[in-house]
Chain A
């Protein structure tokens, strides 16, 4: 079964710095998702990555997918406090419909 591992699990950053969250998965999944969760809130969809080499960007966040390495990354550029949240990656398969397997989450804290 698909296993998804994220690192680091905790990340304390200074505003203005860059950093990367890594998401390793055990078997190739058909889609790789990134979600954001604010404390006490639900999950917000950030990116969907479909194929090898896919790169998507939104504001200060950029996600990429390397299916050969079974690795997805979420790169944060010039972090700001508003990005403080927990970030999850998740994989899914077409033949398993709405079943997503989530990583443990990376708790990001951006300090001034």
Chain B
């Protein structure tokens, strides 16, 4: 079974630009979560989508948004990029149902550098 895939793997942007990252979950997984990983703040939860609906949201500004499509693929968007947005963005998928909490399987990540 193919794992979680993320594209692109690397991105370089400049301040003020916007960026869209993509995540394809493991086949059959309907829950997709996004995390930001930085050396200073560690791994922080951004949001989770289930059946095209945002189910949970972390403490990030509104510049960070996401969506999920009917095939469970998800995208996250960051607008008006800041230097502090430079990070590894990880996507994870799980089999968890409507109320469940399943093991999350992580993709390889997208490394974003903001100059």
Contacts and interface: CB of A to CB of B under 8 A. Distances in A.
Interface of A: 30-31, 33, 35, 41-45, 48, 88, 90, 92-105
> Chain B: interface secondary structure?
strand
A33 to B, nearest CB: 7
Name the residue among B33, B44, B106 with the largest chain A CB count within 10 angstroms: B106
Given A97-B55, A97-B56, 5 more contacts: A45-B103, A48-B103, A94-B99, A97-B50, A98-B92
B90 A42 contact: yes
Determine the interface band of chain B, counting residues with CB < 8 A from chain A: 20 to 34
Given A41-B108, A42-B107, A48-B103, A98 B43 contact: no
A98 B32 CA distance: 7
B33 A42 contact: no
B101 A30 contact: yes
Contacts of B58: 99
25 contacts: A33-B104, A42-B90, A42-B107, A43-B106, A92-B101, A94-B100, A95-B99, A96-B56, A97-B55, A97-B56, A97-B99, A98-B32, A98-B56, A98-B94, A98-B96, A98-B101, A99-B33, A99-B45, A99-B56, A99-B58, A100-B33, A102-B35, A102-B43, A104-B42, A105-B43
